[in-house]
Amino acid sequence: MLVAELVELLEQRYPPSWAESWDRVGLTLGEPTAEVTRVLLAVDCDPRTVQEAVEAGADFLFTHHPLLLRGVSSVAPTTYKGAIVHRMIKAGITLYTAHTNGDVANPGVSDALAARLGLLDPRPLVPTDDTGRGHGRVGRLPSAMALSQFAALVSSSVGRVRVAGPPDATIETVAVSGGAGDAFLADAARAGVDAYLTADLRHHPAHEHLAGGGPVLLDVSHWASERPWLDDVAAFLRRETGLQTIVSDVDTSPWTFMEDGNS
């Protein structure tokens, strides 16, 4: 199919009008009349995922995070982003992004995260309308478990996790939000859940949230919280277009290891 046809399909599922005003989504690079045969899906567009696309023979790179979120005055190949742009153009790879419009979609980023944890009856944490769209999701576990057990579930199904709360706390209802979730701490507290799982939590907001009686917190990497959604998008593309899809497992988190001083 053509790039323009694939873009139209994606924008029916993730309309750009759903994106936040500050966001930059949609077609970033590529000729609308070019043909698409293979799609690589990744959280970020960076040199490693572009190289993966080149090696896989993908001609369309779908990413969650925008490459050009903030304005640049140059895309010279001597700049970080310029080098990426030039590499992709030379390789004939289209770049397309669905970011906050993917966050609020139904199903969207947080639905995939909730599904990884087996949450039942998910609903938006912060609804944007009455169609099931919105930020985050709230659901319940099939059966209650101790926080230590839930943390082990998160670690095995999503990724390495930091936990704030007593290990023996009972967890049954859970709020999740893919990506940075500081903004929804108060919403998680109002939802009356037992735990809130998200990424990029900061010291002071987390401290004040817990001091105010908010639910226990679980903090995974930004990349890990959004990676599950790529599987859903890939399945959608295969079902609707028959295109070959590859989901990247290149972890683009900037953090590479942890040292606790006891090794």
pLDDT at res. 15: 98
Domain with CATH 3.40.1390.30 in the chain: 3-102, 105-224
pTM: 0.95
pLDDT at res. 71: 85
Topology adopted by domain 105-224: 3.40.1390
Distance of CA 23 to the CA centre of its chain: 14
Does the domain formed by 3-102 have CATH 3.40.1390.30?
Answer: yes
Residues in the chain predicted with pLDDT less than 50, given as ranges, are none
Q: Is residue 131 packed enough to be buried (19+ CB in 10 Å), middle (13-18) or exposed (0-12)?
A: exposed
How many C-beta neighbours within 10 Å does residue 100 have?
23
Q: Has 5 been labeled as part of a binding site?
A: no
Q: Has 203 been labeled as part of a binding site?
A: no
What pLDDT digit, counting tens, does each position of 56-104 carry? 999 999 999 999 999 888 999 999 999 999 999 999 999 999 999 999 9
Pairing, β 94-97 against β 60-63? parallel
pLDDT at res. 263: 52
Q: Has 103 been labeled as part of a binding site?
A: yes
Pairing, β 216-220 against β 195-199? parallel
pLDDT at res. 259: 81
Residue 107: cis peptide before it, omega within 30 degrees of 0: yes
The token pair that represents 149 in the structure block: 């057990």
pLDDT at res. 262: 66
Q: Is the Cβ–Cβ distance between 110 and 177 less than 8 Å?
A: yes
Q: Has 209 been labeled as part of a binding site?
A: no
Q: Has 64 been labeled as part of a binding site?
A: yes
